Amino acid sequence: MCWKGSEKQVIVIGAGIIGASIAWHLTKAGARVTVVSTSGAGGVATPNSFAWINASWGNPETYFRLRIRAMAEWKRLANELPGLPFAKCGGLCFDLPADKLEAYAAEHSSWGYGIERIGREQAGRIEPNLAELPEFALYVAEEGVAEPVATTKALLANAERRGARIVTGTVDTLALSNGKVTGVVVSGESIAADEVVIAAGAGAAAIAATAGVKLLVETPPGLIVHSRPYKKLLNGLVLADRLHMRQTAEGRIIAGSDFGGGEPGENPQADAHALFETMKAMLHGADGLELDFHTIGYRPTPADGFPIVSRAGGVGGLYIAVTHSGITLAPAVGLFAAREILDGERDALLAPYGADRFLSNP
Ligand SMILES: Cc1cc2nc3c(=O)[nH]c(=O)nc-3n(C[C@H](O)[C@H](O)[C@H](O)COP(=O)(O)OP(=O)(O)OC[C@H]3O[C@@H](n4cnc5c(N)ncnc54)[C@H](O)[C@@H]3O)c2cc1C
């Protein structure tokens, strides 16, 4: 990878999975990169993620195309960075009534998603420890997971070895000159750059506003329970109607009322205990399984539910990357953003995801 603008100096704000992927792809292409983040390597939403990599139901075809490309980019990234905690472990899905599962399978198969219709016996072979097997389920072998913090840290550590600078600090404002962003101000000190990337998740809108750029980003909460590390009970992702669960590389079984975690109620502790008990009851051999902790994460979600990955029109030197499903999308967002920043080449899959679409909204 050696691109036209590869001598550029770029500041990436954010050290979650999106900032880390962009920083890594930019550094690999030869750019001189500084990552600035309040959190340090790992991010804010990223550590609280369920981390299911998928192009599953509920999305229009244009967004499906971006997601499935991102799934392919995970394989490329894992080849380029051996040891990355990415696993194509497969997803067993029965979280919809049978007619809706059928409709999803028919639509997504016609789009090229590798969905297998399976019955009870086969479901039992895929996940032998499920206490209640579904009569009918869908299995997507291409779905997977990436342990989010370990992946983010690996990307940043590798970027650092390639010359990137990682700075812990909070960006107060973007520095502007003649309608162009020229750097950032961190605790009163300016750092100059040719380009600045806002990959700051829930913090993105406030930073963009300092350059007069309006972003609409919501942050729905999601509760995930984590068991203590335990013997292997699950082979892959289980997307059941009552909850979604998987076992992490560390051996923890994690679950949410769905992958996004679901709204915590008035008493998250009680919700976590109830969810954990539901999860235990769904597994054979889980008698010794103990709840270790729960997390409440806030998913950075642009107001229309789709990613923002683009330059900010009207303000030079500024690129924005804010999205939910950031674990799924990270390798594609990193690759496409680096190409656009360094080469000016915008991938066609990003066409619907410009920052400017919010400008006309009140
Ligand atoms: C409960 C839950 C479940 C999820 N499940 C899935 C899933 O199954 N599959 C999937 O693909 N996605 C999932 N997601 C979404 C995914 O985790 C996020 O889209 C992704 O982590 C966002 O990464 P990010 O790097 O943009 O943000 P973050 O990880 O939040 O990182 C933002 C970074 O910006 C920094 N920052 C912010 N403001 C400033 C500032 N002013 N100055 C300096 N630094 C700043 C922060 O310190 C941090 O480093 C889930 C999220 C949650 C919460």
222 CB under 6 A from ligand 1? yes
CA 202 / ligand 1 centre spacing (Å):
7
β-pairing, 91-94 vs 171-177, is: unpaired
49 CB under 6 A from ligand 1? yes
Pocket test for ligand 1, best of 299, 328, 329 (most atoms within 8 A of CB): 299
Residue 320 pairs in a beta bridge with 198, 310
196 CB under 6 A from ligand 1? no
CA 43 / ligand 1 centre spacing (Å):
6
β-pairing, 195-198 vs 318-322, is: parallel
Q: Of 256, 260, 221, which Cα lies nearest the Cα of 56?
A: 260
Residue 54 to residue 258: CA distance in whole angstroms: 14
74 CB under 6 A from ligand 1? no
CA 46 / ligand 1 centre spacing (Å):
4
Q: Are 210 and 219 in contact (CB under 8 A)?
A: no
Pocket test for ligand 1, best of 325, 329, 333, 353 (most atoms within 8 A of CB): 325
CA 309 / ligand 1 centre spacing (Å):
14
Pocket test for ligand 1, best of 35, 39, 189 (most atoms within 8 A of CB): 39
> Rounded to two decimals, what is the model's pTM?
0.97
48 CB under 6 A from ligand 1? yes
Amino acid at 202: A
Residue 303 to residue 109: CA distance in whole angstroms: 29
Let me know the angle formed at the C-alpha of 90 by 53 and 115, rounded to the nearest 5 degrees: 95
328 CB under 6 A from ligand 1? yes
pLDDT (tens place) for every residue of the chain, 362 residues total: 556 666 899 999 999 999 999 999 999 999 999 999 999 999 999 999 999 999 999 999 999 999 999 999 999 999 999 999 999 999 999 999 999 999 999 999 999 999 999 999 999 999 999 999 999 999 999 999 999 999 999 999 999 999 999 999 999 999 999 999 999 999 999 999 999 999 999 999 999 999 999 999 999 999 999 999 999 999 999 999 989 999 999 999 999 988 777 778 889 999 999 999 999 999 999 999 999 999 999 999 999 999 999 999 889 999 999 999 999 999 999 999 999 999 999 999 999 999 998 875 44
Amino acid at 264: P
